[in-house]
Structure 1
Amino acid sequence: MLYWLILRPAPVRGRTFLNLPRKQAAALTRALRGLPSRHFAGEWRLQRHLDAVTALYRRREGALAALQLGHHLTAFLLACLEAAHRRVDRPAVNPLRPVLAHIERHLGDPLPVPDLAERAGLSVSRFQALFRVATGLPPGEYVLRRRIERAGELLVCTDRSITAIAFSLGFASSQYFATAFRRYTGRSPREHRREKSAGG
């Protein structure tokens, strides 16, 4: 996924950026304006915080929700700072490009790490280290998350059964698929399909 983020902290009398203490708000805005790179690979926690922000904003359930919203926004921006600074020292990841493309084309097939390392022309240990630097995740978890994301798309865009989607993406059973899907999204495949179909 690709995100564009535009920050315009509008001054409000008596309030600071994200209602942080004045010194912390000033430090955060300075750090954001001084990012070493405005284009960087994100991490899964960024999406988690964005999802939480979206859900809380829609509910608007009073002071507690506002506090949670501020927490997730602050955590999201701090994670952006970390990711942007890491990119400066990040080694070249060209060997992984064909591997990532291969993963996208074969999410329904077995994708053992040794085979992926061989495709990249690297030892398993070097491949795992480089993969984690490039994506923020070990290879196995990256593949699982991509399968879950693809499943989420198929649940909304097709009328295929949950079991058929699970098997098409390499899950051994619909029960394991449902467990993994809930762990990463916070809802069951059936709930995801129903909420998205209803415009949620």
Structure 2
Amino acid sequence: MHIDRSLHDDLSIHQISDRFGISERTLARRFVNEIRMPIGSYILNRRLEEARRLLQATDMPIAEIHLSVGFSSASHFATSIRRRFKMSPSALRG
């Protein structure tokens, strides 16, 4: 899926709808019908799952991980990880 290959990019609904040549509303509706969640939620979930994988399976610095999965802010990354996994990025690394 385009989203999974582009986690590090700006994945706005506008950018994705342009990429596929459909309206933002059509993309949003189709996405919810197929995936059963809003596109923004799906993108955040994919970014967090990839971050968890990288934290647990690599020695990549946390600062590189947050950028590689599309978080421009380290604090937003850490807050999102804590909210989702109930622990800090360094604790999730183990």
Structure 1 length as normaliser, TM-score? 0.45
What RMSD in Å do the two structures reach over aligned CA positions?
A: 1.2
State whether residues 131 and 138 of structure 1, in contact with CA within 8 Å, keep that contact through their aligned partners in structure 2: yes
Runs of 4+ in 1 over 6 A off after TM superposition: none
The partner residue of 1:134 within 6, 22, 34 is 34
Quick one: distance in 2 between partners of 1:172 and 1:180? 12
1:192 is the counterpart of 2:87: no
1:157 and 2:52 matched? no
% of aligned pairs identical?
A: 38
Residue in 2 that maps onto 1:113: 13
TM-score norm. by structure 2 comes to 0.90
Q: Which has the larger radius of gyration?
A: 1
Counterpart residue type for residue 129 of structure 1? R
What is the deviation of 1:114?
1.4
Aligned twin of 1:81: none
- Listed as ranges, the gaps of 5+ residues in structure 1 are 1-100, 195-200
Q: Is the 8 A contact 1:163 1:173 kept in 2?
A: no
- Paired residue for 2:79, among 174, 179, 184? 179
Structure 1 Cα separation of the partners of residues 50 and 36 of structure 2: 19
Please give the residue correspondences for 1:6-155 in structure 2 after superposition, counting only pairs within 5 Å. Answer: 101-155=1-55
How far has the Cα of 1:139 moved from its partner? 1.2
Provide, for residues 132-187 of structure 1, a one-character-per-residue CA deviation record: whole Å limited to 9, x for no partner. Answer: 12112211121111000000000011101111100111212211101011112222
1:113 touches 1:124 (CA, 8 Å); kept in 2?
A: yes
**Equivalent-residue separation in structure 1 for 2:90 and 2:36 (angstroms):** 29
- Structure 2, gaps ≥5 residues long: none
Letter of the structure 2 residue corresponding to residue 164 of structure 1: E
Cα distance in 1 between the residues matched to 2:71 and 2:28: 22
